[in-house]
């Protein structure tokens, strides 16, 4: 697994699955337990309710949810900080896994009993990104996974390989495929590259796992030595404490000798200058994070001299998600999960996530 065959040839061939027949099962309107964002404030405004759930309509599937996962943006949505206020009845979370209980008319790609995930943007099947995908943004513009049963469009549904645990599958549609998109679709990471990943959360932990699978040297930054030590156990080769090294970009350059060929910029413009200082010539910086704006505009050192590339991405398509699952299943990789919470304890799960004391993902068991 030391070249680009990892995601496009050997793994796809090894994990290729047979076409699936459709199965239509009649379903009536039912009730389900679900967490709603409620009146935006803090996590204690989340509401556990019983709500009516219609049967799946044409092109839709009904899913019995087994597990879900919390992403950084879910914290912002619950607090009312994400773009605009959400309706109080919105069900959050863009990541999850479950089994299909019923399908609507016209569903042909999946069948009852399949264990499935859905893309973050449920209408983005393949091709380039379009802002039109926000019309079906799971956990944001349509209901998400934090319920016992959910109805989602078939267009975003992908069948999970048997090799993947529920905890791993539950993290794929947000953090996992975002990293896949960045490393394998955009940066075309390869053996011998140096990949810099900022932080120790879900995106960064997936960044370490997928970059190492391609044969790259991985650098991770954090303000916590304890977290950095744990990232080493995942495969991080070089770790830098940015609190002790405010000019951590120069530290990365000094310790790698050449700088990073690929940067997973998981924070945003606030750290962009240091990321650029850490770059090798002709490096690719993939913008993933959207943290608060800095007090001053980034100075972008080395942008021209090093001929750097800067590319923003928004999650990934269903095709990317399917490719990633096949590759991850064939490689034996499993997600890094810090802690799992029961469905009834979802508020505590949000609070734990917000403390930022974890590495990897926080999962809710349904």
Mean pLDDT of 293-302: 84
Mean pLDDT of 206-212: 97
| Per-residue model confidence (pLDDT) at position 182 | 98
Check pLDDT > 50 for residue 74: yes
Per-residue confidence at 21, pLDDT binned at 50, 70, 90? very low
Check pLDDT > 50 for residue 10: no
Angle, to 10 degrees, between the axis of helix 225-234 and the axis of helix 202-213? 40
Per-residue confidence at 361, pLDDT binned at 50, 70, 90? very high
Among the listed ranges 121-135, 174-188, 207-221, 295-309, which one has the minimum average pLDDT value? 295-309
CA 352 to chain centre: 18
Kindly report, residue by residue over 307-345, the tens digit of the pLDDT: 999 999 999 999 999 999 999 999 999 999 999 999 999
| Per-residue model confidence (pLDDT) at position 365 | 98
User: What stretch(es) of the chain map to CATH 3.90.180.10?
Assistant: 18-160
Average pLDDT, the chain: 91
For the domain spanning 176-312, the CATH number is 3.40.50.720
| Of 76, 94, 78, 30, residue with least CA distance to 56 | 30
Mean pLDDT of 108-119: 98
Burial per residue of 175-187, b for 16 or more beta-carbon CB atoms within 10 angstroms, e otherwise: bbbbbbbbbbbbb
Per-residue confidence at 184, pLDDT binned at 50, 70, 90? very high
Check pLDDT > 70 for residue 213: yes
Check pLDDT > 60 for residue 350: yes
Whole-model pTM: value is: 0.89
| Per-residue model confidence (pLDDT) at position 29 | 76
Per-residue confidence at 80, pLDDT binned at 50, 70, 90? confident
Check pLDDT > 80 for residue 41: no
Check pLDDT > 50 for residue 14: no
| Per-residue model confidence (pLDDT) at position 211 | 98
Which residue in the block uniquely carries the two structure tokens 């190492």? 212
Mean pLDDT of 206-210: 97
Check pLDDT > 50 for residue 163: yes
End-to-end CA distance of the chain: 35
User: Can you read off the two tokens belonging to residue 160?
Assistant: 């999970």
| Of 127, 179, 136, 135, residue with least CA distance to 157 | 136
Exposed, middle or buried: residue 300 (CB in 10 Å: 0-12, 13-18, 19+)?
Answer: middle
Instruction: Specify the CATH architecture of the domain 18-160.
Output: Alpha-Beta Complex (3.90)
User: What stretch(es) of the chain map to CATH 3.40.50.720?
Assistant: 176-312
Check pLDDT > 80 for residue 55: yes
Q: Which residues contact 237 (CB under 8 A, 6 or more apart)?
A: 217, 218, 219
| Per-residue model confidence (pLDDT) at position 61 | 98
């Amino acid at each position: 697994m030391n070249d680009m065959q990892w995601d496009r040839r050997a793994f796809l061939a090894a994990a290729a699955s047979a076409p699936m027949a459709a199965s239509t099962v009649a379903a009536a309107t039912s009730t389900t337990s679900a967490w709603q964002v409620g009146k935006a404030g803090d996590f204690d405004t989340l509401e556990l309710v019983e709500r009516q759930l219609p049967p799946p309509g044409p092109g839709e599937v009904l899913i019995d949810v087994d597990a879900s996962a919390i992403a950084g943006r879910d914290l912002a949505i619950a607090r009312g900080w994400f773009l605009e206020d959400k309706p109080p009845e919105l069900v959050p979370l863009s990541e999850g896994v479950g089994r299909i209980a019923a399908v609507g008319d016209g569903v042909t790609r999946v069948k009852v009993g399949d264990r499935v995930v859905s893309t973050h943007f449920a209408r983005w099947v393949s091709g380039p990104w379009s802002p039109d995908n926000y019309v079906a943004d799971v956990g944001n513009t349509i209901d998400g996974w934090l319920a016992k049963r959910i109805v989602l469009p078939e267009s975003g549904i992908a069948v999970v390989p048997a090799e993947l645990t529920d905890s791993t599958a539950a993290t794929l549609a947000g953090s996992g495929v975002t990293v896949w998109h960045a490393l394998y679709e955009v940066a075309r990471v390869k053996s011998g590259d140096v990949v810099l990943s900022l932080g120790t959360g879900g995106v960064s932990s997936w960044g370490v796992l997928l970059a190492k699978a391609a044969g790259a040297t991985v650098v991770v930054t954090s303000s916590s030595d304890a977290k950095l030590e744990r990232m080493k156990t995942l495969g991080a080769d070089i770790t830098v404490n940015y609190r002790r090294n405010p000019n951590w970009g120069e530290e990365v350059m000094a310790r790698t000798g050449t700088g990073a060929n690929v940067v997973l910029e998981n924070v945003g413009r606030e750290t962009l200058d240091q990321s650029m200082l850490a770059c090798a010539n002709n490096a690719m910086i993939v913008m993933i994070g959207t943290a608060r704006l800095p007090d001053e505009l980034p100075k972008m050192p080395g942008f021209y001299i090093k001929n750097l590339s800067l590319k923003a991405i928004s999650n990934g398509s269903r095709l990317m998600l399917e490719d990633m699952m096949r590759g991850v299943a064939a490689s034996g990789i499993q997600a890094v999960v810090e802690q799992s919470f029961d469905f009834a304890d979802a508020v505590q799960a949000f609070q734990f996530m917000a403390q930022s004391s974890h590495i990897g993902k926080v999962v809710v068991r349904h």
